[in-house]
Structure 1
Amino acid sequence: LMPPLVTGAVVAIIGLNLASAARNLAAFDPVIAAITVLAIFIVGLLTTGIFSRLPILIGGVIGYAAALLLGGTAIEGRQYLGVTVHGVDLTPVGNASWFGVPAFVAPEFNGGAMLLIAPVAVVLLAENLGHVKAVSALTGQNLTPYLGRAFIGDGVATIVAGLRGGTGVTTYAENIGVMAVTRVYSTLVFLIAGVIAIVFGLSPKFGAMIASIPQGVLGGVTTVLFGLIAVTGARIWVDNRVDFTRAVNLFVAAVTLIIGAADYTLTIGGFTMNGITLGTFAAIVLYQVFQGASVRDDFAIVGDAAEAEAELRAGPAGRSSR
């Protein structure tokens, strides 16, 4: 159902589809975004040991410090050669208490709302499938047998969250990007991270600190993370030697990438499918329908490379005399 061609395309569009979110965040403060990206590069590529596994965290801290240093403690920031560097407003952090309990509420069942939200599960299934395939590519392990567990875990987590007024729970591409950077894939790490998140969730001051992270820092971090996810899709193609001289492979990948990157949407009633979902379905369906129907096994790539390859196949007698 999902050969390497389809898997790589689906993973790639997850990163490409989120590119606009990274762009919007970075555009708010391009200077801080650039500093954050540069810091991540330096830490990730020029350090060793534990530091080389924490480029996102350290880069984010450096970006945060740069925003404080260059922009000050006012969100309006300061001007440098006509460019605004926004600061960090620490007032909410100072006013927040150290400990607090969230306001829990009981669930309320509404038939209309349930019918409206239920189709979203189809979207989440497609996205979760792509996420699992991305992790599979990163770890080099076949995680397809665990897809059922992933779907069940997602559903159970959402049920538990909804019982006390929490939001819906799903997998996040940002975590996959962090795994790609740190090269740490242990599930125990995520269990510990979950416990730590619960503890910090009882501290409004920590929440205020997280909320104070400048958009430029988030833009720089997500630029790296989402880019790594997109490149992971290409890596799947390379590692599995996907043959792009086959017309069906070329066309399926091309259509899938554009649908995902441009974030095509399809709305049916109150149900909307985004670019990731449409791209996933397009890749799966188009490949299954046309993999055996294509009469062209060799698709010439326009340019000198294709001409050179044709001459090599023809041999000395078939080469041009130019």
Structure 2
Amino acid sequence: MSKKENLDNEVLMVDVDEKVPFGKALPLSIQHLFAMFGSSVLVPILFKMDPATVLFFNGIGTLLYAFITKRKIPAYLGSSFAFLAPVFLLMGQGYDFQTIQGGFVASGALFAVVAIIVGYTGIGWINKLFPPAAMGSIITIIGLELAGTAADMAGFPVGGSNSPTLNTTWVIVSMVTLAAVILSNVLLRGFLKVIPILIGIIVGYITAYFMGIVNFTEISNASFFTIPNIKLAHFDTTAILTILPATFVVIVEHVGHLKVTSSIVGKDLIEDPGLHRSLLGDGLSTMVSGMFGSVPTTTYGENIGVMALTKVYSVYIICGAGIMSIILGFSGKLSALISTIPTPVIGGVSFLLFGTIAVSGLRTFIEEKVDFSKSRNLILASVTFIVGLSGITITIGTVEFTGMGLATIVAMVLGIAFMIFDKLGIMNEEE
């Protein structure tokens, strides 16, 4: 532990490369596991496949990512939602999931190619494409576009997927969970202060049980030991071409998440260990997952939110969550137990987690001293915000670009235009 940190007293920060005693690291890792669980398991449920297999490969991918990035980036790799549309299209056309997996492998390979290009060309062009005014906006959008999802999971009919009317039971459970997280964070001291999410989930789970919305049927039916359902990928040109465009959405998301993480931990992770290593880690994780029966991976905003809230950035804590995820891939009972966590419990936690991501973007404006009296910065932020939050959707083939993904593309186009104007000497910098 560094002199900055003492988990037995007042918690200030646990840095990326710091280790935590096992007894205290365990609940911190469990906290990250719970944070990612709801979203990561939702993807295989939608695809009608075994969630335990996905958890197993999420853990493998997280450890692989940590190795490739030299244990310098605390990031958990969970299931990506960017591939839902093309996968549903292929499933509707009668493609079996093993053939769809071939598209995932190709997607990971494209990720790796982009990583190699970044490794050779450097990252200077990325900083010019995404200056602080644009990146601060994109980071904020990452959190804000999830606001409706958090409210919907909490029982408020914002997103409309759970109920067209207010679900009183869900609201009670989610708000008790949120209150527990907030009170734990602002009132508790020492080690308890760094596990507010875990405390909130436990309190929320107990509340949900007494409200009658916890179903233990899955636990009773589950076996104690199970084997991940390994199925080798098949390759089909049409399936690959249908899946491949979604890769660019994930790459855009990846760059945004790495910027968020850099802002939170106070280190330029794009420079060291490098964006190319981060992209390569995510790409190889997706290739391995796709090859053996799982879904594509991506860095997870939920876990970024946990780090922002707790100030515990240790990559070893993240790897601990990855190891637990692997174990869950073999434990039928334990996996079933976690799957019984009701949606409103996750919704209550998400209120705070998604918000902390948005605030991290606003913090970028302050820390980078973005001057909005300059028209370039004002234009970049204004247009990026409106595109990202307006709900505008552009469809290219089977891939939909919307929200943060579309906003990042628009910010990139504006950045290229401004660079060209600079080169031509026609950019008016007078304000």
TM-score, normalisation: structure 2: 0.63
For 2:173, which of 26, 32, 41 is the aligned residue?
32
Q: Using the TM superposition, name which of 269-278 and 9-18 deviates more.
A: 269-278
Structure 1 residue aligned with 2:371: 243
Aligned: 1:50 with 2:191: yes
Local SS of the residue matching 1:220: helix
In structure 1, which of residues 254, 259, 267 is the aligned counterpart of residue 395 of structure 2?
267
Structure 1 residue identity aligned to 2:187? L
Cα shift at 1:43: 0.5
Give the letter aligned to residue 231 of structure 2. Answer: V
Residues of 2 paired with 1:261 and 1:221: CA distance? 22
Which consecutive unaligned segments of at least 5 residues does structure 1 have?
A: 73-86, 299-322
Task: Flag the 1:115–1:132 CA change in 2: closer, same or farther, 3 A.
Answer: same
One-letter identity of the residue aligned with 1:14: I
Tell me which amino acid in the other structure corresponds to 2:270.
T
Deviation at 1:288, TM superposition (A): 4.3
Q: Distance in 1 between matches of 2:429 and 2:174?
A: 46
Residue in structure 1 matched with residue 276 of structure 2 by the alignment: 148
Q: Secondary structure at the match of 2:400?
A: strand
Contact 1:37–1:224 (CA<8 Å) still a contact in 2?
A: yes
User: 1:260-304 CA deviation, whole Å, 9 max, x = no partner?
Assistant: 223422101222222111111222322442486665855xxxxxx
The corresponding residue for 1:80 is: none
Deviation at 1:198, TM superposition (A): 0.3
Identity %: 39
CA drift at 1:259: 2.0
Q: CA deviation at 1:10?
A: 1.3
After TM superposition, the structure 1 stretch with the greater mean CA deviation from structure 2, 202-211 or 46-55, is: 202-211
Q: Give 1:198's aligned amino acid.
A: I
Q: Which structure 1 residue ranges, 4+ long, deviate > 6 Å from structure 2?
A: none
Once the two structures are superposed, residues 130-167 of structure 1 have per-residue CA deviations (whole angstroms, 9 ceiling, x without a partner) of: 00000110111111121111111111001111121111
**For 1:65, which of 199, 206, 212 is the aligned residue?**
206
Shift of 1:199: 0.7
Contact 1:248 1:294 (C-alpha < 8 Å) held by counterparts? no
Q: Distance in 2 between matches of 1:284 and 1:242?
A: 18
Q: Structure 1 pair 288/189, CA: closer, same or farther in 2 (3 Å)?
A: same
Amino acid at match of 1:118: L
Please list every run of 5 or more consecutive structure 2 residues that lacks an aligned counterpart in the other structure. 1-127, 156-166
Is the contact made by 1:24 and 1:219 (CA closer than 8 Å) also made in structure 2?
A: yes
Q: Which of the residues 201, 213, 216 maps onto 1:90?
A: 216
Q: Tell me what 2:239 maps to.
A: 113
Q: Distance in 2 between matches of 1:14 and 1:253?
A: 14
Task: Choose which of 342, 347, 369 in structure 2 pairs with 1:214.
Answer: 342
Distance 1:50 1:3 in 2: 37
In 1, the alpha carbon distance for the partners of 2:391 and 2:404 equals 7
Which residue is 2:227 aligned to?
Answer: 101
CA distance in structure 2 between the aligned counterparts of 1:31 and 1:245, rounded to whole angstroms = 45
Change in 2 beyond 3 A, CA 1:262/1:22: farther
Please say if 1:223 is aligned against 2:351. yes
- The Cα of 1:31 is off from its aligned counterpart by 1.2
1:174 aligned residue (263, 286, 302): 302
Cα RMSD after superposing both structures:
1.7
Task: Work out the CA distance in 2 between the residues paired with 1:263 and 1:102.
Answer: 38
1:129 aligns with one of 255, 260, 266? 255
Which is further off, 165-174 or 283-292? 283-292
Shift of 1:60: 1.1
Whole-angstrom distance in 1 between the partners of 2:236 and 2:147? 35
- Of the structure 1 ranges 283-292 and 45-54, higher mean CA displacement relative to structure 2 is found in 283-292
CA distance in 2, matches of 1:184, 1:93: 32
* Paired residue secondary structure (1:266): strand
TM-score, scaled relative to structure 1: 0.83
Contact 1:8/1:234, CA 8 A, preserved across alignment? yes
Say if 1:190 and 1:290 are closer, same or farther in 2 by CA, change over 3 A: same
d(CA) in 1 for partners of 2:350, 2:239: 32
Question: SS at the partner of 1:36?
Answer: helix
Q: 1:139 matched to which residue of 2? A: 265
Check 1:216–1:297 CA distance in 2 against 1; reply closer, same or farther (3 A cut). farther
Change (3 A) 1:265 1:38: same
Indicate the structure (1 or 2) with the bigger Cα radius of gyration. 1
Residue identity matched to 1:135: T
Secondary structure at the aligned position of 1:170 is classed as strand
C-alpha contact (below 8 Å) 1:60/1:217 kept by paired residues: yes
